Chain A
Amino acid sequence: GPKVLQIPSHQIIDMGQMVTLNCDPVSNHLYFYWYKQILGQQMEFLVNFYNGKVMEKSKLFKDQFSVERPDGSYFTLKIQPTALEDSAVYFCASSLWGQDTQYFGPGTRLLVL
């Protein structure tokens, strides 16, 4: 099936530093998403992105978070500065159109110390 790639798979970072999570979505998909999953808890929506713009974001998408997809390359989630509560697995997803099935990557496990 369609593959979404995420880089890196794991990241350990000191609190207050900046981190960028990278996502390579399915090639012809137009909609991109980030979700956050804390160990043992359910997946929660952070943000979706279409046509170069954030369309919708949740309360979890703090001011320290930003997303972009410069020139059709990686879809990135940047956190600056990081906080302890940002430790989680972050999943990227993409879909062809807004209500289509979302395909998820394997996740980036972020640990903030």
Chain B
Amino acid sequence: QQKVQQSPESLSVPEGGMASLNCTSSDRNFQYFWWYRQHSGEGPKALMSIFSDGDKKEGRFTAHLNKASLHVSLHIRDSQPSDSALYFCAASGASSSFSKLVFGQGTSLSVVP
């Protein structure tokens, strides 16, 4: 069973639209969450981290964390064609000081001009 599940598997939004990506964890040990973006042929790049309940906004990106339901979301407003990529949710636990990230299977976002 996957410990970090992402939905949807793929998403297509028009340029200028809002993209919403979801991530649910099945492990209550996870305390720290990240969103990574990976363009084809490149390594994943960290978009933002979220450790506390509520919203965190950075530019066009807003992450939301609900620890009670183990749900994390990422919302991208005013989506651009350059946002087309694979998005990964990643989680780590508080029990270890040496963080190992557990990744979801990814959401493929396509922003259509």
Minimum CB distance partner of A47 in chain B: B100
- A-contact 0/1 string along B4-35, CB 8 Å cutoff: 00000000000000000000000000001010
- Residues of A near B104 (CB, < 8 A) are 42
User: Would you call the interface of chain B mostly helix, strand, loop, or mixed?
Assistant: loop
A52–B61 alpha-carbon span in the complex (Å): 37
Taking a contact as CB atoms closer than 8 A, the residue among B45, B100, B105 that contacts A42 in the complex is: B105
Q: Could you say which interface size class chain B belongs to?
A: 20 to 34
Given A41-B105, A48-B99, A99-B97, A106 and B43 contact (CB-CB distance below 8 Å): yes
B99 touches A99 (CB 8 A): yes
- A48 near B45 with CB under 8 A, answer no
Tell yes or no: B102 within 8 A of A by CB: yes
**Residue from A31, A55, A58, A99 within 8 A of B32 (CB atoms):** A99
Judge whether B103 and A44 touch: CB under 8 Å: yes
**Residues of A91-105 whose CB lies within 8 A of B:** 91, 95, 98-105
Residues A106 and B99 in contact, CB atoms below 8 Å apart: no
Q: Which of B46, B90, B102, B105 has the most chain A CB within a 10 Å cutoff?
A: B46
Q: What residues of chain A lie closer than 8 Å to B46, measured between beta carbons? A: 101-103
**Contact, CB under 8 Å: A43 / B98:** no
A56 touches B96 (CB 8 A): yes
17 contacts between A and B (CB under 8 A): A4-B43, A42-B103, A42-B106, A43-B44, A43-B101, A44-B103, A48-B98, A48-B100, A91-B44, A95-B99, A98-B97, A99-B92, A99-B99, A101-B46, A102-B34, A102-B101, A104-B43
* Chain B interface residues toward A at CB < 8 A: 32, 34, 36, 41-46, 49, 88, 90, 92, 94, 96-106
